[in-house]
Amino acid sequence: MLPDRITPGQTPLDDLSGLRLKDVRTRAQLDAAEAENIRRAIIKYFAAAPSLRTAPFDYPWVLRLHREMFGDVWTWAGQLRRAETNIGALPHRIEGELHGLLHDLPAWSESRMPLLEQAVRMHHRAVSIHPFDNGNGRWSRMLANIWLRLHSPDLTHWPDTTIGSASTIREEYLAALRTADRGDYAALIALHARFRRQF
The answer to whether the predicted template modeling score (pTM) of the entire model surpasses 0.85 is yes
Q: What is the pLDDT of residues 50-71, one digit of tens each?
A: 999 999 999 999 999 999 999 9
Domain borders along the chain are: 27-153
In this prediction, residue 1 has a pLDDT band, given cuts at 50, 70 and 90, of very low
Instruction: Assess contact for 191 and 117: CB atoms under 8 A.
Output: no
Instruction: Assess contact for 2 and 27: CB atoms under 8 A.
Output: yes
* Amino acid identity at 144: A
The alpha carbon of 60 is separated from its chain's Cα centroid by a whole number of angstroms, namely 16
For the cut 80, the answer to whether the pLDDT of residue 163 exceeds it is no
Strand partners, 196: 156
User: For the chain, what is the radius of gyration of the CA atoms?
Assistant: 16
Cα–Cα distance, 199 to 197 (Å, whole number):
6
In CATH, what class is 27-153?
Answer: mainly alpha
